[in-house]
A and B are shown apart, each in its own frame.
Chain A
Amino acid sequence: MHSYPALLCSCVVSILALCHGLPLPADTMRNLIKLQAENISARIQRQRDELPIFHNLILDSPELLPELPSDKPIEGLTSVVETLSAFQRVLHSLPKGHVTQLRSDVSKLQSDLEERMSSLQCPHRKTSTEKTLEAFLKNNRMFHITLGHVALDRLQKYLQRLTHNLDKLKTC
Chain B
Amino acid sequence: MFLCMMLPLLVNILIAVHGVAALSPVSSRPGRYQDFQWRAQLCCEWPSVGPSANTNDASASRSVKTTNTSVTQIRGLPESASYQCSIQNFTNGMDTSTESQGFSAECFDILCHLEDEQANLICFLKYRRAPDTITTSTFTVNLQQVGKDLTLHTDAPIHTNQTQCSGEDAVTCSIAVHAAKGSVSLLISGFINGRSLQSPEMHISTDYLRKPEPPFNLHYNVTIEGEVVFTWSDSQSSRYPLNYEIRYSSNTSLQHWEVVNTHHPWVSLKELSSGIIYTVQVRSQSPQHLQYWSNWSQPFYLTLNVSYIPAEVFTRPDAEVTVYGVFHNHSWSARRAVWMLNGQVIPESQYRVVNERVSAVTIRSKEPGFDTLLCCHPWGERYKCNIAYAKVYTEGLFDANITCQTDQRSRTDSMTCKWNKSAWAVVRFLYKTYNGMCEVIPPDEGVMTAVQEDSMVGVKECPDGVGDFRECTLQGLSLFSCYKLWLVVEGGHGKVRSRPIFVAPVDYVRPSPPSDLEGDTFPNQTLSASWRRPHLPAYELQYELRYVPSRRMADLQWKVVGPLIDTSVEVLVEDPCVQYEVQVRCKRLHGSGYWSDWSKPHMSTVYSTEAPGRGPDFWRVIQEDTEKNHSNVTLLFKPIPAEGPSICVQGLVVEHQASGGILWSDDMTLGSFYTFQWKEEVHTITVMSYNSLGSSVKNSNMTLVRQPKRRCVRSFRAAANATCVSLSWTLLSDQPPPASFVIEWLELNGDSEQGTGRVEWLRVPSTSRDVHICRHFYGTEVFRLYPVFVDGEGEPVRCSAARSDPAAYMLLMIIAFLSVVLFVTLIISQNQIKRLMWKDVPNPNNCSWAKGMNFKTMEGTDNLFGHREGLTACPLLLVSESVCEAKIVVKPSVFAVDKDQEKESLLHCSVDGEGKNTNLSTVEGSLEPLSMDISTVSTTPETSGQSSVTYSTVLVFDQPMLLRKQQESLSNSSDEGNFSANNSDISGSFPGGLWELENQSCSDGTNPRNSSSYNSVEEFSETSEQEDETLESRRMAKELYYLGMNEEEEEDFHGDEADADETVLCVDSSPELERKCSGASDSSSMSQISIPLYLPQFRTGATELLREQVENSALHL
Give chain A's interface residues, CB within 8 Å of chain B: 51, 53-54, 56-59, 61-64, 66, 95-98, 100, 131-132, 135-136, 139-140, 142-147, 150
Contact B388 A143 (CB under 8 A): yes
Assembled-state Cα–Cα distance A109/B1023 (Å): 83
- How does the 8 Å CB contact mask read for B269-312 relative to A, with 1 for contact and 0 for none? 00000011100000000000000000000011101010000000
Q: Decide: A54 and B467 in contact? CB cutoff 8 A.
A: no
Contacts of B467 in A (CB 8 A): 95-97, 100
B468 touches A61 (CB 8 A): no
Distance of A59 Cα from B303 Cα, bound (Å): 15
Chain B residues numbered 331-361 whose CB sits less than 8 Å from any CB in chain A: 340, 342-344
B374 part of interface (Cβ distance < 8 Å) = yes
Given contacts A59-B387, A61-B386, A146-B387, 8 further A-B contacts (CB under 8 A): A51-B423, A53-B343, A53-B423, A57-B376, A97-B468, A97-B469, A98-B468, A140-B388
Which residues of chain B are within 8 angstroms of A62 by Cβ–Cβ distance? 275
Residues of B within 8 A of A98 (CB): 468
Docked complex Cα distance between A124 and B464 (Å): 34
Given contacts A53-B342, A56-B382, A57-B343, contact A63 B276 (CB under 8 A): yes
Q: Judge if B389 is at the interface, Cβ distance under 8 Å.
A: yes
Instruction: Sort A-B residue pairs by CB-CB distance and give the 6 closest, nearest first.
Output: A53-B343, A97-B467, A96-B467, A97-B468, A146-B387, A135-B301
B466 at the interface (CB under 8 A from A): yes
Residue B383 CB within 8 A of the other chain: yes
Question: Would you mind naming 16 contact pairs between A and B with Cβ atoms under 8 Å apart?
Answer: A53-B344, A56-B382, A57-B340, A57-B382, A57-B385, A61-B384, A61-B386, A95-B466, A95-B490, A135-B300, A139-B301, A143-B387, A143-B388, A144-B468, A145-B468, A146-B388
Are the CB atoms of B389 and A143 closer together than 8 Å? yes
Residues of chain A with a CB closer than 8 A to B468's CB: 95-98, 144-145
- If A64-B387, A96-B469, A144-B426 touch, does A58 touch B379 (CB 8 Å cutoff)? yes
CB neighbours (8 Å) of B374 from chain A are 57
- A129 (CB) vs chain B CBs: closest residue: B252
Closest residue of B by beta carbon distance from A53: B343
Q: CB-CB < 8 A to B465: which residues of A? A: 96
Q: Contact check, B301 vs A59: say whether CB atoms are below 8 A apart.
A: no
Give the dominant DSSP class at B's interface: loop
A48 to B467, CA, bound (A): 17
Chain B residues in 8 Å Cβ range of A142? 391, 491
Instruction: Assess whether B388 is in contact with A132, with CB atoms less than 8 Å apart.
Output: no
Residue ID in chain A nearest B304 by CB atoms? A63
Q: How far is the CA of A96 from the CA of B467 in the complex (A)?
A: 4
Q: Does B103 contact A (CB under 8 A)?
A: no
Provide the bound-state CA to CA distance between A54 and B387, in Å. 11
Central interface residue in B299, B384, B464, B468, by most chain A CB within 10 Å = B468
Query: When chains A and B are docked, how far (Å) is the Cα of A145 from the Cα of B386?
Result: 12
Q: How far is the CA of A53 from the CA of B341 in the complex (A)?
A: 11
Known: A96-B464, A96-B465, A135-B299. A63 touches B423 (CB 8 A): no
Asked if B817 is at the interface of the complex by the 8 Å CB criterion, the answer is: no
Given contacts A95-B426, A97-B467, contact A61 B275 (CB under 8 A): yes
Which residue of B is nearest A58, CB measured?
B384
Closest residue on chain A to residue B274 by CB atoms: A63
Number of A-B contacts (CB under 8 A): 88
Q: Does B823 contact A (CB under 8 A)?
A: no
CA distance A65 to B475 in the complex (A): 39
When each residue 372-399 of chain B gets 1 if its CB lies under 8 Å from chain A and 0 otherwise, what string results? Answer: 1010100101111111110100000000
- Say whether B676 faces chain A, with CB atoms less than 8 Å apart: no
In Å, the complex CA distance between A146 and B391 comes to 13
Q: With the chains together, A96 CA to B374 CA distance in Å?
A: 23
> Quick one: which of B670-717 are within 8 Å of A by CB?
none
Task: Enumerate chain B residues within 8 angstroms of A95, measured Cβ to Cβ.
Answer: 426, 466-468, 490
B275: which A residues are within 8 A, CB to CB?
A: 61-63
Cβ–Cβ contact A58 & B276, under 8 A: no
Q: Is the CB of A63 within 8 A of B277?
A: yes
Residues of chain B within 8 A of A97, CB atoms compared:
426, 464, 467-470
Report how far A132 CA is from B252 CA in the complex, Å.
10
A150 to chain B: which residues have CB within 8 Å? 387
- Interface members, chain B 903-931 (any A CB < 8 Å): none
Taking a contact as CB atoms under 8 Å apart, the answer to whether B387 and A147 are in contact is: yes
- Interface: B424 (CB within 8 A): yes
What residues on B are CB-neighbors of A59 within 8 Å? 385-387
CB distance from A150 to the nearest CB of B (A): 6
Interface string of B15-31 (1 = CB under 8 A from A): 00000000000000000
| Given A57-B340, A97-B467, A97-B468, CB of A140 within 8 Å of CB of B379 | no
Interface centre among A54, A131, A135 (most CB of B within 10 A): A135
How distant is the Cα of A144 from the Cα of B388 in the complex, in angstroms?
9
With both beta carbons as reference points, the residue of chain A lying nearest to B425 in the complex is identified as A145
Q: Flag if A58 contacts B385 (CB, 8 Å).
A: yes
Chain B residues closer than 8 Å to A146, beta-carbon distance: 385-389
A54 vs B424: C-alpha distance in the bound complex, in angstroms?
12
- CA gap between A117 and B376 in the complex, in Å: 44
CB A66 to nearest CB in B, in angstroms, measures: 7
A143 to B373, CA, bound (A): 11
Please name all residues of chain B whose beta carbon is closer than 8 Å to the beta carbon of A51 when the two chains form the complex: 423
Residues of B within 8 A of A66 (CB): 277
Which partner residue on chain A sits nearest B490 by CB separation?
A95
Q: Please report the C-alpha to C-alpha distance between residue A56 and residue B383 in the assembled complex, in whole angstroms.
A: 6
CA distance A97 to B470 in the complex (A): 8
Kindly provide the distance from the CB of B143 to the nearest chain A CB, expressed in whole angstroms.
39
Output the least CB separation between B375 and chain A (Å): 12
Complex CA gap A140/B304 in Å reads 12
B387 adjacent to A140 (CB under 8 Å): yes
Chain A neighbourhood of B300, CB < 8 A = 135
B residues 216-230 near A (Cβ < 8 Å) are none
- Within 8 Å by CB of A58, from B301, B344, B382, lies B382
Chain B residue contacts of A64, Cβ below 8 A: 387
| Residues in A neighbouring B384, C-beta threshold 8 A | 57-58, 61
Taking the closest CB of chain A, its distance from the CB of B300, in whole angstroms, is: 7
Contacts of B383 in A (CB 8 A): 56-58
B contact residues around A143 at 8 Å (CB)? 387-389
Set of chain A residues within 8 Å of B424, measured between Cβ atoms: 145
Give bound CA distance, A131 to B299, whole Å.
9
Q: Are A54 and B343 in contact (CB under 8 A)?
A: yes
A57, B388: Cα distance in complex, Å: 13
Q: In the assembly, what is the distance between CA of A41 and CA of B65, in Å?
A: 82
- Across-interface contacts of B340 in A (CB, < 8 A): 57
Which of chain A's residues have a CB closer than 8 A to the CB of B466? 95-96
Cα-based distance from A95 to B465 in the complex (angstroms): 9
Q: How far is the CA of A143 from the CA of B312 in the complex (A)?
A: 12
Q: Give Cα A51 to B381, complex, Å.
A: 20
Nearest chain-A residue to B469 (Cβ)?
A97
Complex CA distance for A51 and B425, rounded to whole angstroms: 13
Closest Cβ–Cβ distance, residue A143 to chain B (whole Å): 5
**Cα–Cα distance between A131 and B281 once the two chains are bound (Å):** 14
Report the Cα distance A53→B299, complex, angstroms: 35
Question: Which residues of A sit under 8 angstroms from B277, Cβ to Cβ?
Answer: 63, 66, 132
Question: B423's contact among A96, A100, A145, by CB below 8 Å, is which?
Answer: A145
Measured between beta carbons, the chain B residues less than 8 angstroms from A144 are 426, 468
